[in-house]
Amino acid sequence: TLSVRHPLIDLVSVGEVGGRLAAGQLVLPDLAALSPGIGGGARLDLAASLEGRARIAVNGAVAVDAAAGPLPRLLGPRAEVALSAAQAGDAWRIQSARIQGPGLAASFAGLAGADRLDLGGTLGLTDLAKLDPAWSGRMSAEGDLSGTPAAPELTADLEIAAAHGRVGAGRAQGRVDARLDPLAASLDLTGDWSGEPLGVRLTAGRSQDGDLRVSVAEGRFAGITASGDLVLPAGAVLPRGELAFDIPRLAEAAPLVALIRPGSLGDGAAGLAGRLGALLAIDEAGRLSVAAQGEGLDLPGVARIGMLSLDARVSDPLGRAETRASLALGDWAAGGLTGDLRLSASGPGAA
C-alpha cells in the first residue's frame, strides 16, 4: 500500500509492491494549485497493469466551479471522465476517452504517440445556453485528428441547431478542415436561418513567405451576402484586399441589427426596407476606401432615404488618416425635415 497525503494531492494505491499491478484513488482538492485560474477539484479511480502490454484505466469526476469563460457552466459541479488505453509499441492505443458535463460531451479513440496521431471522436455542446443565456440549442462535431502532435490535421463534420430570442432560429451543417503546419483551414456551412438561406465558404492559410490569406467565397446570413479576399503580409498591421457586402432586402437583416444593436431601431426593426451594398478595399499602399450605395431605405423612427451614395478614401489610416469623403442623400426625410443632402469632408483624422 502506498499512501501520499498533501494539501494539494491525496493518493492511495494498493497493489503488488515492485509488482506489475496497481489500483488506487487520486483526489485533487484544489485544481487552482495545479492550474492557476481554475477552481474546483477531482476524484479519480486509477488502475494500471504492466503485464504484457502496459494498460491504464481512469474513471471519476471533475468539478469546476471557477474559471474564465464558460468552462464552469460546461463542466459544472460534476463532469464524468473516463479513459482506457493500452501501449502499442512506442504509442498508446486509446480504446475510449470521454468527458460528460452539463453542457459538453466529448469522446475519442485511436492511436497517439510522439510522432503520430490517428484519432477519431465527437465533440458536442449540448446546451448553447451554457455559452450565452440568450442562445439555446446544440452544436456537434464528428471527425478525425491525424498527422503528428507538432503538425496535427483535423477534419470534422458539423451540425448546428440554434435559436436566439432576437435573431431567430436555424439549422446548419458543414465541414471544417484545418492543419497547423503549414497553417491552413477551410469552413463550409450551409443551412437556413429564420427561413432564409445561410451559407459560409471560407478558406485561410499562411504562405511560405509568411503572408496570411483569407478568402470568403460566399457568406450569407440574415439576408446579407459577403465575399472577398484579404492578405495580411508578414510583419504588416493592415491587410490588403477587398470585401463586398450586399443586402438586397434590408428587412431580412432586422434580426442581425437586433443582435448587434439591441433596441437601436426601437419597435420599428420589422419595418426596415430598401437595398444597401458596400465595398471596402485596402490597396498595396495601405490606402483605405469605402464605397456604399443604397436605395429605397426606410429606417423606422430614424430616417427615410430614397438614394444613398458614400465615397470615402483614407490615406495612412494608422497615422495622419488623411481623409476625403462625400455623402449624398436623395429624397431624404428625418425629424420633420425633407430634401436632398450633400456633404463632403477632407483633412487629417486628427483635425
Beta strands in 207-321 (DSSP E): 212-221, 224-232, 240-247, 273-282, 288-299, 303-315
User: Against a cut of 0.85, is the pTM above it?
Assistant: no
- Rounded Cα–Cα distance for residues 101 and 103 (Å): 5
pLDDT, tens digit, for every residue of 252-278?
777 676 666 665 555 445 578 899 999
CA torsion sign for 206, 208, 210, 214 is negative
Tell me which residue has cell 495622419: 320
Q: Which of 10, 70, 6 is nearest to 38 (CA)?
A: 70
b/e burial code for range 202-212 (CB count within 10 A of at least 16 → b): bbbbbeeeebb
pLDDT, tens digit, for every residue of 291-302?
999 999 988 878
pLDDT, tens digit, for every residue of 76-126?
899 999 999 999 989 999 999 999 999 999 999 999 999 999 999 999 999
132: pLDDT strictly greater than 70: yes
